[in-house]
Structure 1
């Protein structure tokens, strides 16, 4: 039986911690495709496409990992990469329909479906590992289910930060950081594989862990969508009434919060311009004239310009990921197409080393993304809802004798924080564009760090912006 929103609110820290781990190990793991490709080739997937005259063997390089010496070739790489392309396509293209479904049915059913698909993909990959030459075509279905299940887990976790109020942007950044860092999962699995653990055993264990996600969602995730901090449902959920004894600073903060809410209600009743939904009836719907149409949100300048910024940044980052090995090779060989054998071996060794460093640095997203979320949440707790003129007299209570400190409008503070976040992110992007063009191999370590930071920051900044600017983006349009 699904828990209520009140029960989910009490379990929000458990749900957030498990969601971070689930995103890290089960979401966009396909981004670590290079390591999975090596394991699939070692297991002999599509090895029958290789002819003896143009086939090579990687058995010498991975003798401890592969029990058989399977031939490898270009045709095999192309077939496996086709499966990866389909999986990545589903990882991205299904976001819009998933968003529509999540807006209508909530995150719970999609998360259950995503965990089931991921568990099924790992189980089918283990099945194919028993007889790779025969069952190799299953890899297309496996990678498709893997990509679809992963994006379901990521997308549904983005509404969970609503339960953390003024720390919402920080937790959105943490969720996105764990998603971006999931590219390190397959390199870690590759290390376990190289240590001698069989491919089938790894995939069966991974499938079992994915079943735990299904169980966790079944027990802890409610049927209803998580309300935003601006919604009356959240006000009741977080308990603004004095249900229990509070003293000291807790009491002062509580009185200030209640006073702000009462001031908003009084002003809205006097002016007749704002709609206030009482907390006693959270099920009451907002009047139709107060609901912002979806097309109005999509056509707003804030969304369109953020879309342009995101598109350009993503194109730049993905292009670098695709061309990185060739760019590093060019710096070693100087562009010589027919260099000596020693130079080619040196280039392969250096490119392999730098690629490994780049893969490990993907974990940096998990630790760096909360920083941009902290920027988005800067001083939000000190702000109030609505114009600050209502609180300028400092009389939240009738017996108040001293004026409070200067208050800020929450909407203005959120927009200011978003400007800072986007400015800092694009500054890093410019720095990345400069360092990647400089002909210096040691400098590429800085390029890797900047690339990783920007990849996490740009998603977090956009997610925090959409969550902050409630004037244009209602929670009913979040998906």
Structure 2
């Protein structure tokens, strides 16, 4: 690939920067749910589900456990849709290209923010649909932005993980809405502002992104977007992509079916599903857990919710470290005879193992019912979540053909969503059977997290076999 012109280079860096802002400010706002719940409670959403009960000492207390259960249900449905809809989104992206996929996502996202803006305690059921729409639109932003890593070749893994970290950090948007609400700015005004920002998403779609895709490896003279009032000829973009078919579509490339039926895909699905369920249960039950640990002190609850939201901002700082680990380990692999894919997988094995260790530590800390320890739990949560989704995306991009990325990424998120739907029966189990104490559930989840080590172990074994085969081939050739 020749060096890009100055104008092309500026466009690429502008595409990268605006994509980072889009992921940071819009894509993953759903996961700041704990902050938004605090606001919705103050605005009396689902307040009709609270009722007075008489405690054992004869005092009358307000029981809002059913209200908390409804808020947990909202998050469960929205997080399920965030992942499950990734499959049709992946097919839409692969078959229709960037422009069609993004315009669909912008429309869905805007509908969600508008519905949230015009919801109220009287029309509380709008929250279910609005959060789901915001979640689906947000994952479309992420999927269409990940391809920007292809513009920067050697730093591809780092950019992929950086965008996933920005996706995680965008959960702080709901924290900002909470702070604005405390100063007197209504939730309606905040979500109307998010709706108005859709104009920027549309402009970016046409000016800073291709109509179809950004290929990898990047061909010479690749152009995209609108220049001087008219778009670049689509024909040139297609011709450039197929100018060297041996690079773009290798002869021995696996089919989509072969990828899905591989052990790599199965173990990666288990690895992602287990740890994702752990994170979703923690976020979905954070508010009632803090109420229990603080004995209902609203000031303390707000303090810890704010601390949790602030730590989410660090996701964009934590995620690139995963990509840097992958790139650095890959450069240190000196075994001869290995293919580029085998070197990448050898580097991924360490990343997958580190992520599983982080999840175990996070789950252990979340299990211990000691309030001050939750500050450290928040730090581990954002670190592990950043590594989890960045590593999940990077593994699919590195281990499988790039032509199947959208479909495989969508499929694995959709299948993991089916597993993550277990969070609602788990929440019901805590409420109805365990008398609101999640200790035994947390212990069970911590034990379940041990299965996440299967995936890095399998990848490591396959890499050792590849090294042995390469050494044997060199011996035979010599």
TM over 0.5: yes
Residues of 2 paired with 1:36 and 1:361: CA distance?
16
Higher helix content, 1 or 2: 2
Corresponding residue number in structure 2 for 1:374: 324
Note if contact 1:115-1:213 (Cα within 8 Å) is conserved in structure 2.
yes
Gap change, CA 1:382 and 1:237, over 3 Å in 2: farther
For the aligned residues, what is the CA RMSD? 3.7
Task: Choose which of 239, 253, 262 in structure 2 pairs with 1:300.
Answer: 262
Residues of 2 paired with 1:140 and 1:323: CA distance?
17
Corresponding residue number in structure 1 for 2:19: 19
Per mean C-alpha deviation after superposition, the further-off stretch among 78-87 and 216-225 is 78-87
Per mean C-alpha deviation after superposition, the further-off stretch among 139-148 and 309-318 is 139-148
TM-score (normalised: structure 1): 0.69
Corresponding residue number in structure 1 for 2:185: 197
Task: Choose which of 430, 444, 447 in structure 1 pairs with 2:360.
Answer: 430
Residues of 1 paired with 2:87 and 2:126: CA distance?
26
CA drift at 1:436: 3.5
Residues of 2 paired with 1:13 and 1:350: CA distance?
43
Note if contact 2:72-2:285 (Cα within 8 Å) is conserved in structure 1.
no
Higher relative contact order, structure no. (Cα contacts within 8 Å, ≥ 6 residues apart): 2
Gap change, CA 1:83 and 1:329, over 3 Å in 2: closer
Task: Choose which of 109, 115, 129 in structure 2 pairs with 1:141.
Answer: 129
Note if contact 2:117-2:187 (Cα within 8 Å) is conserved in structure 1.
yes
Corresponding residue number in structure 2 for 1:170: 158
Look up the SS of the partner of 2:92 in the other structure: helix
Note if contact 2:161-2:394 (Cα within 8 Å) is conserved in structure 1.
yes
Cα distance per residue 1:416-445 (max 9 Å; x no partner): 221221122222223223434456443332
Residues of 2 paired with 1:462 and 1:186: CA distance?
25
When Rg is computed on C-alpha atoms for both structures, the one with the higher figure is 1
Corresponding residue number in structure 2 for 1:449: 379
Note if contact 2:49-2:66 (Cα within 8 Å) is conserved in structure 1.
yes
Look up the SS of the partner of 2:243 in the other structure: coil
Corresponding residue number in structure 1 for 2:220: 236
Residues of 2 paired with 1:326 and 1:74: CA distance?
8
Residues of 2 paired with 1:371 and 1:287: CA distance?
30
Gap change, CA 1:198 and 1:360, over 3 Å in 2: same
Task: Choose which of 209, 215, 221 in structure 2 pairs with 1:227.
Answer: 215
Residues of 1 paired with 2:128 and 2:287: CA distance?
26
Residues of 2 paired with 1:197 and 1:154: CA distance?
29
Count how many residue pairs are aligned between Structure 1 and Structure 2.
381
Note if contact 1:166-1:381 (Cα within 8 Å) is conserved in structure 2.
no
Gap change, CA 1:217 and 1:328, over 3 Å in 2: same
Residues of 2 paired with 1:295 and 1:317: CA distance?
30
Residues of 2 paired with 1:159 and 1:420: CA distance?
24
Task: Choose which of 86, 90, 110 in structure 2 pairs with 1:99.
Answer: 90
User: What runs of 5+ residues in structure 1 fail to find an aligned partner?
Assistant: 1-5, 56-70, 240-276, 333-343, 390-407
Residues of 1 paired with 2:366 and 2:49: CA distance?
36
Note if contact 2:355-2:388 (Cα within 8 Å) is conserved in structure 1.
yes
TM-score (normalised: structure 2): 0.69
Gap change, CA 1:292 and 1:430, over 3 Å in 2: same
Residues of 1 paired with 2:374 and 2:249: CA distance?
56
Look up the SS of the partner of 2:201 in the other structure: helix
Note if contact 2:220-2:240 (Cα within 8 Å) is conserved in structure 1.
no
Task: Choose which of 140, 144, 164 in structure 2 pairs with 1:156.
Answer: 144
Per mean C-alpha deviation after superposition, the further-off stretch among 279-288 and 350-359 is 279-288
Corresponding residue number in structure 2 for 1:476: 404
User: What runs of 5+ residues in structure 2 fail to find an aligned partner?
Assistant: 1-5, 54-61, 224-238, 408-478
